[in-house]
A and B are shown apart, each in its own frame.
Chain A
Amino acid sequence: MITVGKENLYSNNNYGVEIQSVILQKYKNSTRWFWSAFTRYPFRYLLGIILLVISTYSSTKTLALIGDVLGIIQRNLSLKLTSFLPINISEITTIGWGQTTINMFTPDFIRTIIWMVIYVIIAWVTLSVNIAIWADTSFRVQRDMRQEFYEVVQNHSMAFFDVNDSGVILSMGMNEINQVRMAYHPSLRNLLGSVMTIVITTVLLWIYDWIIGVVFLVSFILYLIIAWIYAAKVAPIRQKLATDLGSMSSISQEMFKGVDVVRSFNNHEKEITKFNKVSLEYADDMRREGYLSAFYWPAVISILVTAGAFAFGIYSVIIGRYVSIGILISILSLLLNLNRQNFMIPQRLIMLQAGLQNSRRLWNVMSFKDPLEQSETPIEGNWNKEVVFENVSFAYPGTEKLVLNNVSFSIHAGARVALIGGPGSGKSTILKLLLRLYDPTSGKIKINNSNIKDMHTSYVRSNVTMVEQDIFLFSDTLKANIAFAKPEATDEEIRAAADKAQISQFIESLPEGYQTIIGERGVTLSGGQRQRIAIARALLSNPNLLLLDDSTSAVDIKTELRLRYAMEELMKNRTSIVVTQRLTTLVAADMIILMKKGKVVDIGHHEELIQRCSDYQFMCQHLPIAKGSASSDLADAISGGRD
């Protein structure tokens, strides 16, 4: 059995079963996932239910005993009325100030009171323990489901993240999972309590008066059905309110974040209209919900039943069907108690419905059909041989447009390859395919004749490392960020990597050194520093194939220089593919692949391309070297030879 929360969900074999298929096979659908709480922790919930039965019985019984004890009082009082007749002299006592009265504290009165106290204590203890167990278990379920959701979603390929707002996914993982938990605790527990009160009340009523018992049972079943239908009506509005609020805050956040853009285009009113539309929608749904819950028709059923029982009870007393008025009082106490519960039931039902709906939404995200499939029998490859693109075409999942169109090339081991092309030429897509973030739509990517589609993604990624242009660092220590590629790395290894990446000096100059926290709660690094942290990270991962997106923007001379040294270190002794516009890199490359609109235009050395390829000549002319600089002689620069 897989226990989330305590242990890792992944199997120990890195390339083994995927978590998504494990979860999907285990729970099949959202309903079963929602109800899985009971199969996850069956004994705890069973114990909870048993305790609930005991506590409900005890508290209901206490209420029923009110009639009994009042009946006894009534009997004792009637004895007082008749006590002038010397029938039962022993019950008449004389007390302090000489008044004659009756003993109210007859043994059955005392006994009933004691029983009531005992029942109250039992109810108190069992209900407390029940709540504790139920709450604890439900919070466990919440923890486990949240973990499952996160791990499954995290395992989706980039095809998922490209189209899904991570803010929305986050709010699902946090808030909607909370909703699911609330369906269990407190809703389901209270609901079970109410249902049990109904059942036990029915049994007790049956004992007092079977006619009332039957009528009551039938009408309460009817009541629950209508209440469920009612809840099903309200629940979607509740859901709608939540989404309204969500879009309201995203509209508002967007506007305040981009306020200077809004102002510079005179678009205040447009933004206000956009907001007002959602706000009005929210108000409308809020009103609808209020109207629906205002006239809660099922309540009428319980009112009528109670009134009927009341009339029938009085009638029974009048005709002498009841031996004591206490029976009427017991029946009334029980019914009025239920009327109080009455108001709780709809709210709980709505929350249960909401939990079910949320779990459906969560399940939909979890069961995302991933276009990137893992092979069931993954293979490995020899990375010291060539990397081949064989007629690779690619369109982003869900779109038609081919961003790569029939791309073929072959890279021998240890080669330095430069990728060059205009915007949207497909350069960065080639890198993403090599990292197996996506699979080609058609064609093959081969490492020494093995298709990487047949390899496990984590195997591919342990051999391939990419340094992106927009660098994502975690808000953690510098050390943790560098060691992200290799968590078990020693301090020496980390320092060596930082040193090669030309960042160690800077890090050591900080008061906290490698323990410095970066990001929102720490220091902010400049673009150049971030880049070199990423290079240190990549150095530690020591990949067989390095992918480098080096589309530099303008940096100052020092940053530039440091970056060049760092990159040189990184490319040493491995196959590398660099997206670049740096003439030195182009000139030094073993091979240049020139891309245009998703197609390969030409492949070759710098000298070859500069001779024969007009696109390449055009690009070279537009690289900064050609203009305005001290050595503006194009011919000089481009025939500068290789170092």
Chain B
Amino acid sequence: MSHGHPRGGPGRAFGAIKYDRARSTKVLVGNLWRYIRVYIKPIILVVSISIVYSIMRVVSPIIIGRGINVLTETPSATSLLIGLTVAFLLLTIVGWVLDSLSTRIQAKMNSEMLHEVRSDLYRKLSYSDMAYLKNEQSGNVTARVTADTGELATGLILFTSVVSQLLVIVGSFVWLMLSNWIIGLISLTAVPIAFLMANILSFFARKIVLRVRRAFGVVSAKMAEGLEGVAVAKSFNRERDLATELRELNHQHYKYSRQFGFLMMFINPTMTALTYGLFIAIIYASGWINQHTGIQLGDIYTDVQLSQSFLFPMVMLSMMFPQLESALGAMDRIIDVFEAKLAVADKTDAVNLQQTDDSVHFDHVSFAYTDDNYVLQDVTFTTNAGEMMAIVGHTGAGKTTLFSSLLTRFYDVSKGAIKIGNQDIRDVKQSSLRKTIGLVTQEPFLFNGTVLENILYGSPDATRDDVYSISKRINADEFIEALPNGYDTVVVEGGKKLSAGQRQIITVARTMLADPRILVLDEATSRLDTYTESLIQAAQRELFRGRTTFVIAHRLSTIKDADRIVVFEEGKLMEMGTHNELMKLDGIYADLYNTYYVHQGLEDISLSLEDLEPETLDESIQKQSMNKPTFTVGAGGSHPSGKPKEMPDKKQMQEFMEELKKKGDEKQLQHVEKMMKMMKNMKKDD
């Protein structure tokens, strides 16, 4: 049975981390049933084979023992010679065939079942709630699909193995008892010793394995960081020091691994010694038995052989249980996914979005990710078809949520409704909705593949020439052609060789190629340098024409191009109108404009360093980076968070006022006070 065993050895067995399951074993097995059901015949077959095989493993030494008995009594029977040899040969060959057969059946069954579970799980995850995927790290979600399913499969193999090991133990023990009760009792005394040892060892092993793992993780993180930041290390000639740091951690990992090695040294030698000690005791006892009652030589032989197939399975079993337990834990986590909330689903009577009217209506829209924690409150406004709206506001004002998540229907609104034309977006098919809306997200995300494949991602039917022409139209061609292999340059690691701005251009090209009628650009060109952006913006104006466009804007020039400007603050729509209208209003927009946008054109900043209030940590960035999914492998370095903004909040503004008072800058002070008053008034209006 041995080569069908799961690999990994005792280290893996002890490494099984205790996991508090949410479901009982019965529920878990019940859930597994729909996969098992299909394979019920092969499973029965495998289990019966392993029963037969286990019986044969016990019977085989008994037959040999019988043979020896006969041989000692009538040492001249030729028929016996033939009979015994045939019996032995038959038993071993049949045993081999059965074992091989069951391994083969299991291989087929397991691989198919594993694929099915994986595939179902992946599909489920692909369609599951956005919030679930965004809150879990992508590494964790991936672990559900790869590691947990693997563990489950291992558990299934183990299960049949447990059955057979148990049978061998029980069978051997029954024989030993039947053959002679004294020998049976002697064998029995070895059991607690073996168990005690297995328990003590696993107690220490667990601790050490955990320590080894942690050390491994630390080495891995260090190496990841070293590899990611290799250019910086090279620039500052610090390779040698990084190597030294790694060496120390590496050495620490070695020290823990060595501890584990030392601990493991007890298991095999000691179990072997215990087994050998057991049969020596049996032989010695048989001398004593013979002196009093009598035991046949063949029986002693059988006892000796069976005592050897007795203790090891027991230790194996005690190692298997933690693994089985961890397989059940994996199953539990997998069911969590199966039972997780699905992303919003199409209504059964959902229709295609009509292609006639591209006006967008936000009708008293409120939204909370979690109960009552509203990030958007009662937003109402209408965008005419073909209109370009600029959206401005501080970080965390709810702009991204409204346009990137609700309009695209990644989530449903909590209250109110969003309509395109006269259709509520909840009544249309999501596929048709997303075909209509093109989204360029804040963080440029590229897939592994060539630049060309990335641009084609949303439009698989487009040709190479289509890609060329769209790139030309957005002025990206010059840049893409300058890449080492032009459009066929391979994007490695999400585009580590490209600058953030270059990645953004590619994502813009990807969306524009899909030719959506409604566009959402969430700071889509924020990472470009000013010159390139101005080139691209000129081209974009052409492309936006005739499309309903929402631009979450960071650049003065974009705002000025917009037909209307919408100002958000803390989830509420505060102001709306053209640039001139809003400036006249002298409210939030005018303030934002004066502190943030206006200097973008000015080369001389009127402030001096002394005018600045102290910087603080940007809380909104802290929260964002916590939720940012990251690759588990590259556990190290931290890349720019892509948040070029540091806008003042109320507290900062108050501090600013204090400072101005101290300095006696009357003009500035008046301006700020006016701003503050305005903000208060706005609050009252709600």
Tell me the bound Cα distance from A521 to B271 in angstroms: 44
The answer to whether the Cβ of B283 comes within 8 Å of any Cβ in the partner chain is yes
Contact with A along B95-112 (1 / 0, CB 8 A): 010001101101110111
Closest approach, in angstroms, between the C-beta of A253 and any C-beta of chain B?
5
The residue that B557 contacts in the complex, of A66, A556, A628, with Cβ under 8 A, is A628
- Check A307–B92 contact: CB distance below 8 A: yes
B residues within 8 A CB of A38?
Answer: none
Partner pick for B625 among A55, A154, A164, A524, CB 8 A cutoff: A524
Q: Are A403 and B119 interface neighbours, CB within 8 A?
A: no
Q: Is B668 an interface residue (CB 8 A)?
A: no
Contact between chains at A283 and B434 (CB < 8 Å): no
A-B contact count (CB 8 A): 586
By a CB distance below 8 angstroms, the chain B residues around A603 are none
Q: From residue B211, how far is it (CB to closest CB) to chain A in Å?
A: 14
A selection of 24 A-B contacts at a CB cut-off of 8 Å is A70-B300, A73-B283, A74-B72, A124-B272, A127-B269, A139-B261, A142-B257, A170-B224, A248-B145, A254-B447, A303-B89, A315-B81, A318-B75, A395-B484, A401-B484, A403-B482, A424-B479, A470-B639, A472-B229, A526-B643, A556-B596, A556-B647, A558-B615, A581-B530
Binds A, one of B165-173, B521-529, B657-665: B521-529
B645 touches A556 (CB 8 A): yes
Q: With a CB–CB cut-off of 8 A, which chain A residues contact B460?
A: 270
Asked if A453 is at the interface (CB within 8 A of a chain B CB), the reply is: no
Known: A519-B637, A524-B621, A527-B642. A104 touches B290 (CB 8 A): yes
Residue in A256, A279, A287, A485 whose CB lies within 8 Å of B119:
A279
Top 5 nearest A-B pairs (CB, nearest first) are A290-B107, A629-B601, A424-B482, A135-B261, A551-B529
Nearest CB of A to B24, in Å:
29
Task: Tell me whether A143 and B253 are in contact in the complex, defined as CB-CB below 8 angstroms, given that A275-B122, A282-B115 are known contacts.
Answer: yes
CB distance from B178 to the nearest CB of A (A): 20
Interface residues of B in 603-626 (CB under 8 A from A): 603-605, 607-609, 612, 614-618, 621-622, 624-625
CB distance from A12 to the nearest CB of B (A): 10
In the bound complex, what is the Cα–Cα distance between A303 and B92 (angstroms)? 7
Q: Is the CB of B126 within 8 A of A167?
A: no
Q: List the A residue with the shortest CB-CB distance to B217.
A: A174
Contact A526 B621 (CB under 8 A): yes
A284 touches B499 (CB 8 A): no
Knowing A253-B631, A551-B501, say if A582 contacts B80 (CB, 8 Å): no
B111:A166 contact, CB within 8 angstroms: no
Say whether B681 faces chain A, with CB atoms less than 8 Å apart: no
Task: Flag if A105 contacts B646 (CB, 8 Å).
Answer: no
Taking a contact as CB atoms under 8 Å apart, the answer to whether B557 and A265 are in contact is: no
Also in contact, A135 and B439, with CB within 8 A (given A294-B104, A520-B630, A622-B534): no
A492 in contact (CB, < 8 A): no
For A339, the closest partner residue in chain B by CB is: B92
Q: Is the CB of B107 within 8 A of A294?
A: yes
- Partner of B615 from A170, A260, A529 at Cβ < 8 Å: A529
Q: Is A384's beta carbon under 8 Å from chain B? A: no
User: Could you tell me how many residues of chain A have their Cβ less than 8 Å away from some Cβ of chain B?
Assistant: 211
Report A-chain residues with C-beta under 8 Å of the C-beta of B630. 520
Nearest-CB residue, chain A, relative to B485: A399
Tell me if A641 counts as interface (CB < 8 A to partner B): no
Q: How far is the CA of A296 from the CA of B2 in the complex (A)?
A: 11
Residue A361 is within 8 A (CB to CB) of chain B in the complex: no
Contact residue among A260, A529, A625 (Cβ-Cβ distance under 8 Å from B404): A260
> A163 near B492 (CB under 8 angstroms)?
yes
Evaluate whether A556 and B96 lie within 8 angstroms (CB atoms) in the complex, with A255-B126, A279-B118, A473-B638 already known: no
B133 near A259: Cβ-Cβ < 8 Å: yes
User: What's the Cα separation between A424 and B602 when bound, in Å?
Assistant: 27
Q: Is the CB of B644 within 8 A of A165?
A: no
Bound-state Cα–Cα, A2 to B262, Å: 27
Instruction: Say yes or no: is B191 at the interface (Cβ < 8 Å to chain A).
Output: no
Q: Chain B's nearest CB lies how many Å from the CB of A616? A: 12
B427 at the A interface (CB under 8 A): no
- Contact of A347 with B by CB under 8 A: yes
In the bound complex, do residue A307 and residue B146 qualify as a contact, i.e. CB atoms below 8 Å apart? Answer: no
Q: Which residues 375-399 of A sit at the B interface, judged by CB distance below 8 A?
A: 395-396, 399
- Check if B92 sits within 8 Å of A306, measured CB to CB: yes
Asked whether A170 and B633 contact (CB < 8 A) given A124-B270, A163-B492, A266-B434, the answer is yes
Instruction: State the Cβ distance, B252 to closest chain A Cβ, in Å.
Output: 10
Nearest-Cβ distance from residue B581 to partner chain A, whole angstroms = 17
Of A8, A123, A307, the contact of B88 (CB 8 Å cutoff): A307
Docked Cα-Cα span, A403 to B530, in Å, equals 22
B74 nearest in chain A by CB position: A318
Indicate if B138 sits at the interface (CB-CB under 8 A): yes
Instruction: Report Cα–Cα, A627/B541, bound state, in Å.
Output: 15
With A147-B243, A154-B226 as given contacts, are A557 and B599 in contact (CB-CB < 8 Å)? yes
Distance A280 CA – B447 CA, assembled complex (angstroms): 22
Q: Is A286's beta carbon under 8 Å from chain B? A: yes
Known interface pairs A8-B243, A506-B614; A265-B458 also in contact (CB < 8 Å): yes
Shortest CB–CB separation between residue A358 and chain B, in angstroms?
A: 15
Once A69-B283, A150-B243, A343-B2 are accepted as A-B contacts, the answer to whether A104 and B484 lie under 8 Å apart by CB is no
A255 to chain B, nearest CB (A): 7
Asked if A451 lies at the interface with its beta carbon under 8 angstroms from chain B, I say: no
B119-169 contacts to A (CB < 8 Å): 119, 122-123, 125-127, 130, 133-134, 136, 138-139, 141-142, 145-146, 150
18 extra A-B contacts, CB within 8 A, seeds A318-B71, A318-B77: A8-B240, A66-B301, A104-B288, A124-B270, A138-B261, A163-B492, A166-B496, A294-B101, A295-B100, A303-B92, A314-B84, A333-B305, A422-B479, A424-B483, A509-B616, A528-B644, A551-B499, A561-B605
Verify if A630 is at the interface (C-beta below 8 Å from B).
yes
Q: Determine how close the nearest CB of chain B comes to the CB of A70; give it in whole angstroms.
A: 6
* CB atoms of B231 and A472 under 8 A apart: yes
A447 in contact (CB, < 8 A)? no
Chain B residues near A169: list those with CB within 8 A: 227
In the complex, the answer to whether B133 meets A553 with C-beta atoms within 8 Å is no
Hey, what's the 0/1 contact readout for A148-171 against B, CB within 8 Å counting as 1? 001101110010011111110111
Q: Is B203 among interface residues, defined by CB-CB distance under 8 A?
A: no
| B-side contacts of A473, CB under 8 Å | 637-638
Indicate if A257 sits at the interface (CB-CB under 8 A).
yes
Contacting residues, chain B, for A267 (C-beta < 8 A): 457-458
CB proximity to A under 8 Å, residues B257-275 = 257-258, 260-262, 264-266, 268-270, 272-273
- How far does the alpha carbon of A521 sit from the alpha carbon of B634 in the complex, in Å? 14
A256 and B142 contact, CB distance less than 8 A = yes
Enumerate chain B residues within 8 angstroms of A289, measured Cβ to Cβ: 107
A359: interface (CB < 8 Å)? no
A30 within 8 A of B: no
Distance to closest chain A CB from B481 (angstroms): 7
User: Is the CB–CB distance between B138 and A630 below 8 Å?
Assistant: no
When distances are taken between beta carbons in the complex, the residues of chain B under 8 Å from A457 are 234
Q: Does A484 contact B (CB under 8 A)?
A: yes
Which residues of chain A in 37-76 are interfacial with respect to chain B, using CB atoms and an 8 Å cutoff?
A: 55, 59, 62, 66, 69-70, 73-74, 76
| Contact of B242 with A by CB under 8 A | yes
On chain B, the residues within 8 Å of A299 by CB distance are: 96
Which of these, A10, A506, A524, contacts B638 with CB under 8 Å?
A: A524
Alpha-carbon distance A360/B389, docked complex (angstroms): 58
Stretch of B3-11, B313-321, B362-370, B568-576 contacting A (4+ beta carbons < 8 Å): B3-11
CB distance from A484 to the nearest CB of B (A): 6
Per a CB cutoff under 8 Å, which of B258, B297, B631 touches A73? Answer: B297
CB distance from A338 to the nearest CB of B (A): 13
Residue contact B258 to A136, C-beta cutoff 8 Å: yes
**Contact (A127, B268) CB under 8 Å given A261-B441, A299-B96, A435-B235:** yes
8 Å CB contact of B501 from A510, A553, A622: A553
A167 and B633: CB pair below 8 A? yes
Residues of B within 8 A of A245 (CB): 146, 150
A120 within 8 Å of B by Cβ?
Answer: yes
In the complex, B380 has a CB within 8 A of chain A: no
CB distance from B215 to the nearest CB of A (A): 11
Q: How far is the CB of A634 from chain B (nearest CB, A)?
A: 11
